[in-house]
Amino acid sequence: MIHKISIEDIDVSGQKVFLRADFNVPLDQGKVRDDARIKAVLPTIDNLLGRGARLVLASHLGRPKGQPKEELKMDPVATRLTELLGRTVIKLDQVVGPVVNKAVADMKNGDLLLLENLRFEKGEESNEKAFAGKLAEPVDLFVNDAFGTAHRAHASTVGIASYIPAVAGLLMKKEIEELSRSIENPLRPLTVILGGAKVSDKINVMRHFLQLADYLLVGGGMANTFLAARGYDLGDSFYEKDMVEEAAKIIGESEKSSCRLVLPVDLVVTRELKPGSSFKTLEPEKIKHSWKAVDIGVKTVESFGECILNSAMIVWNGPLGVFEISPFDQGTMFTALKVAESEAYSVVGGGDLVAALEFLNLADDINFISTGGGATLEFWEGKELPGITVLQDKT
């Protein structure tokens, strides 16, 4: 278990705190469309303000690549934060410099302000030392609550920790505890469900869980690559041709491990990937040319369900079909219902899957939903995340 000092372990009264949050939220016509990431940081914000900290909030938004862009300014985030907190959030048009330094110096206990988009500055993503120093200049303490960026060595996640003490926020602490539990001390039997399009994105996660899990269920486009490795001709289905050999190795490794690898036994296929298009459900060997596999079938859902109901813990990343297009969302939906109905402790990560669960109103039935995408996968791989490494260790 990773043990890091958090804000709960220190006195923050009167401290000028730089809180790195993940407010990288979707916008629609200048308004926040989904505020889940903002809400996830509220407990840390409330805790710090309630204990008399002077709070400087900072985040990135989108990918401006070091250039200011009007449509990626933090103003919509400030507006939504004001609504959620019930108090005015002062938003600055700068990230570093004299204006920021003076605004922070004038703050009183319990005050907060929001900086402009960190990625408007070229030194952010390159982790430029001088820029990190400017971020740290007006503040006393660095609190990282942006787990979703913990796998990135940027100035606001890593570089700033060279200048001031760095500790975890409440969300970061929870992420570390929950994800550590799922790979270090999981409840048994442990079932891991992996979906999404590409095997190449999750090959290391699969190998890690092959040595840890009792069941490994594979769906989505990545399952097609495994079925191709087993010799099936999947017609016009998407699969990664350059990963077939690697998938075959994984199948071989699973046969030597104590983990049972479960692949689809039937697939929903269609000729046209669009809403309302005709479809049918076939076994892999019956898929003909011009048909493409886009979801797992009923028999596969039942097979997955047997493993799920036999589980004490479930880890899930990635949808099991083309969830965005109905009716190819059924495999994900019915599997999610089985996870929600089970008595197993469930941990879910990945933006696409989380969006699916929220759409189905099942998010509240999951025990823990990680706010990370790539960070969650790298954590499950067993990688060291730079945004966590720089936080002070408990001794």
In the chain, domain spans = 7-171, 179-381
Q: Exactly one of 198, 271, 286, 299 is catalytic; which is it?
A: 198
Q: Is 54 noted as a catalytic residue in this protein?
A: no
Q: Is the pLDDT of residue 392 over 90?
A: yes
- How far is it, in rounded angstroms, from Cα 55 to Cα 135? 13
Per-residue pLDDT tens over the stretch 201-216: 999 999 999 999 999 9
pLDDT level of residue 357 (50, 70, 90 thresholds) = confident
Of 46, 93, 88, 102, which Cα lies nearest the Cα of 74? Answer: 93
Q: Chain-wide mean pLDDT for the chain? A: 95
What tens digit of pLDDT does each residue of 225-267 get? 999 999 999 999 999 999 999 999 999 999 999 999 999 999 9
Instruction: Give all strands of the β-sheet with 141-144 in edge-to-edge order.
Output: 90-91, 112-114, 54-58, 16-20, 141-144, 166-168
Of the candidates 380, 389, 334, 385, which has an alpha carbon nearest to the alpha carbon of residue 180?
380
Of the pLDDT bands very low, low, confident and very high (cuts 50, 70, 90), residue 361 is: confident
Per-residue pLDDT reduced to its tens digit, 292-349: 999 999 999 999 999 999 999 999 999 999 988 888 999 999 999 999 999 999 999 8
For the cut 90, the answer to whether the pLDDT of residue 373 exceeds it is no
Prediction pTM value: 0.93
pLDDT at residue 289 in the model: 87
| CATH architecture label of 179-381 | 3-Layer(aba) Sandwich (3.40)
pLDDT band, residue 276 (cuts 50/70/90): confident
pLDDT given for residue 67 in this prediction: 96
Give the mean pLDDT of 58-83: 97
152 in catalytic set: no
Q: What does the pLDDT read at residue 263?
A: 98
pLDDT digits (tens, 9 = 90+) for 23-61: 999 999 999 998 989 999 999 999 999 999 999 999 999
37 an active-site residue?
yes
Query: Residue 355's pLDDT is what?
Result: 79
Residue 113 CA to chain centroid, in angstroms? 26
* Closest residue by Cα to residue 104 from 18, 11, 13: 18
89-146 pLDDT, tens digit each: 999 999 999 999 999 999 999 999 999 999 999 999 999 999 999 999 999 999 999 9
Tell whether domain 7-171 is in CATH 3.40.640.10: no
- pLDDT of 63 above 80: yes
Out of 159, 305, 351, 387, the active site residue is 351
Residue 351 is among the residues annotated as catalytic for this protein: yes
**pLDDT tier at 358 (50, 70, 90 boundaries)?**
confident
* End-to-end CA, the chain: 13
